Amino acid sequence: MTVYRTAFYKFKYIHDVRRAAAPAGRDGTGVDDDALQAWVERISLECFGLPFRHRATFNRRLRTTGGRYFLKTHNIEINPKQLEQFGPEETEKIIKHELCHYHLHLANRGYRHRDRDFIELLAKVGGTRYCRRLPGVQPGGPRPVRYMLKCAACGLEYLRRRRMDPRRYACGRCGGKLKFMTLDSTNES
């Protein structure tokens, strides 16, 4: 009996979270801060297997950047214009990007864009590549990630700061051929 009851509550909880995150139409209208919070919490559980215990809010003052993670408060801000222009799918990739910063930072792992932990986790959960320099991180650090090598066989992506000749390398996962690409810098998030 107890087993059934636990299972029921578990299901109900997941169900409620999904419903709370659902008010967005396909155009992303109707998402307020509470819905965003539920949305981030759901993605955190589903894609990272860990809870998001801080606050996610919209910030309309963000310009080209899609989202921000704050090292001091652990809160996340998302640009609502991103949602209006590109819809929930693109916004979800930004949320995943910010959650990569969030979970790696809290786990004392490499949470910066240049860190291997970050690059790998981002590829794993399918987040978007860019966001503005993190508040609290010193400028004048390494050059930004502007290039990518993509495996033509398995699709794995390798982010790079410098131009490089793809013919001299092979995919570390499957040994496939790599394709060199320049990332679109206007697509920051």
Provide the binding-site residues for Zn ion, judged by CB under 5 A.
131, 151, 153-154, 156, 171, 173-174, 176
CA nearest to 157, candidates 117, 124, 113: 124
CB of 130 to Zn ion, least distance (A): 7
The pair of three-digit structure tokens given for residue 178, joined into one six-digit string: 């790599």
Amino acid at 80: P
CB of 156 to Zn ion, least distance (A): 5
Distance (Å, rounded) from C-alpha 74 to C-alpha 106? 8
Beta-carbon neighbour count of residue 80 at 10 Å?
A: 19
Q: Which is nearer to Zn ion, 81 or 133 (CB)?
A: 133
Q: Which is nearer to Zn ion, 95 or 171 (CB)?
A: 171
CB of 62 to Zn ion, least distance (A): 12
| Through-space distance between the first and last CA atoms of the chain, rounded to whole angstroms | 48
Annotated active-site residue in 98, 120, 157, 188: 98
* 3-state secondary structure labels for all residues of 74-96: CCEEECHHHHHHHHHHHHHHHHH
Q: Which is nearer to Zn ion, 156 or 181 (CB)?
A: 156
Is residue 46 annotated as a catalytic residue, yes or no?
no
Q: Which is nearer to Zn ion, 17 or 132 (CB)?
A: 132
Distance (Å, rounded) from C-alpha 37 to C-alpha 153? 37
Q: Which of the residues are catalytic?
A: 98
